[in-house]
Amino acid sequence: MIGDKDYVLNGTILLLIIPVFILFFSTLTVLDYENKANCDSINSNNVLSTFKDVKDNIPVITLDVLNKSAYQVIEENLTIINSREYVKEKVQERINKLNYDCDVNCTIKTITSYEKDPFYIEVNSTITVKKGNIKHAENISQLVSIEGLPDPLPFTKCDSISHNLTRIEYHHGLAAYLGDVNGSFYENATSPFIIKKCPYEPYETHGSTPVIIDCIQNGYYHQSNDGACYLCRLEGKATCPHQGLETFIIPHILNNGSTIVSVDHVIFGDLYEGSPFIVNSTYILFLDQAHRKKYGIK
């Protein structure tokens, strides 16, 4: 038989057990919440570091794709039909191969010449990284310097020319390209192989002999409204509507006659004549009035 005393005791135990249960469950909730917060914080760090990694990879991959594309043009004597699309697809393929433990969606939207400075390529992309409840998405724009890349343009125009990783040697190639009348001036001509930005600014300072000699010896490139941008050079274009580049093509023989101006976009594009500017006993340039004015040469 159960007495009244037992009922009282059971009741007391029950009353004691309820708060214990409440405490237990709330502790569980707190633990679960902390666990979730911890997990979110780990995911959040993971998402941000993955985002940064994808972002850092884009310019590195773009530079490598530009370099490989240029060497393909140079070594296989071909031109790229639509270099912006071609480079974009190649960069996208390489980005898609990157492996992360987050969901990564990176779309390369455009690859263009940077309007404000033709020594840069602009890459626009969207990166979305997701893990658990955490998501980070951003549209980004990055600049990739083209300095150090080879110039593919001459190889799209002339046969049988070579390079030694610093200079292009035209042998008979440029003379053949220009034809009998003007060609002889450019027999064994040379021009730079690697894009390097000329440090001599404003450009009028080239009127000083040591400056123009240093510029020629180092094979520098200059900004130009007429000369083609890097992406158009991959397409075999000497001139283009974008802000572009120009460099000097150096004739091999000193000559007092006038011939095609020694600027690459004139030689490979517009073909107009200029008169000789004898720099010293080694170098001569043929220049028109507009280029003389640009470089401060009297």
When asked if residue 88 is in the footprint of Zn ion (CB under 5 A), the reply is no
User: Encoding tokens for residue 228?
Assistant: 């083609």
The minimum distance between CB 37 and Zn ion, in angstroms, equals 52
Contact with Zn ion (CB under 5 A): which of 146, 158, 216, 229?
A: 229
When asked if residue 153 is in the footprint of Zn ion (CB under 5 A), the reply is no
**140 versus 143: smaller Cβ distance to Zn ion:** 143
Q: Is 212 exposed, middle or buried (0-12, 13-18, 19+ CB in 10 A)?
A: buried
Closest alpha carbon to 127 in 138, 142, 115: 138
User: Encoding tokens for residue 215?
Assistant: 């510029």
Total residues binding Zn ion (CB under 5 A): 8
When asked if residue 158 is in the footprint of Zn ion (CB under 5 A), the reply is no
* Cβ-contact 72, 66 below 8 angstroms: no
Closest alpha carbon to 65 in 126, 108, 118: 108
When asked if residue 285 is in the footprint of Zn ion (CB under 5 A), the reply is no
**58 versus 211: smaller Cβ distance to Zn ion:** 211
When asked if residue 80 is in the footprint of Zn ion (CB under 5 A), the reply is no
**189 versus 215: smaller Cβ distance to Zn ion:** 215
When asked if residue 114 is in the footprint of Zn ion (CB under 5 A), the reply is no
The minimum distance between CB 138 and Zn ion, in angstroms, equals 28
Binders of Zn ion among residues 194 to 213 (CB under 5 A) are 198, 200
When asked if residue 291 is in the footprint of Zn ion (CB under 5 A), the reply is no
CB-CB neighbours of 177 under 10 Å? 18
The minimum distance between CB 191 and Zn ion, in angstroms, equals 13
Contact with Zn ion (CB under 5 A): which of 242, 265, 292, 294?
A: 242
**For residue 250, which amino acid is it?**
I
Kindly report the backbone phi and psi dihedral angles of residue 117, in degrees, each rounded to the nearest multiple of 5, phi listed first. -155, 110
Question: Which uninterrupted H or E stretch holds 105?
Answer: strand 103-113
Contact with Zn ion (CB under 5 A): which of 144, 232, 267, 287?
A: 232
Closest alpha carbon to 111 in 90, 95, 93: 90
Q: What span, in angstroms and rounded, lies between the C-alpha atoms of 5 and 202? A: 105
* Cβ-contact 129, 102 below 8 angstroms: yes
**51 versus 268: smaller Cβ distance to Zn ion:** 268
* Cβ-contact 259, 183 below 8 angstroms: no
Contact with Zn ion (CB under 5 A): which of 149, 178, 215, 234?
A: 215
- The span of 17-25, 144-152, 217-225, 268-276 binding Zn ion (CB under 5 A) equals 217-225
Q: What residue ranges bind Zn ion (CB under 5 A)?
A: 198, 200, 215, 220, 229, 232, 240, 242
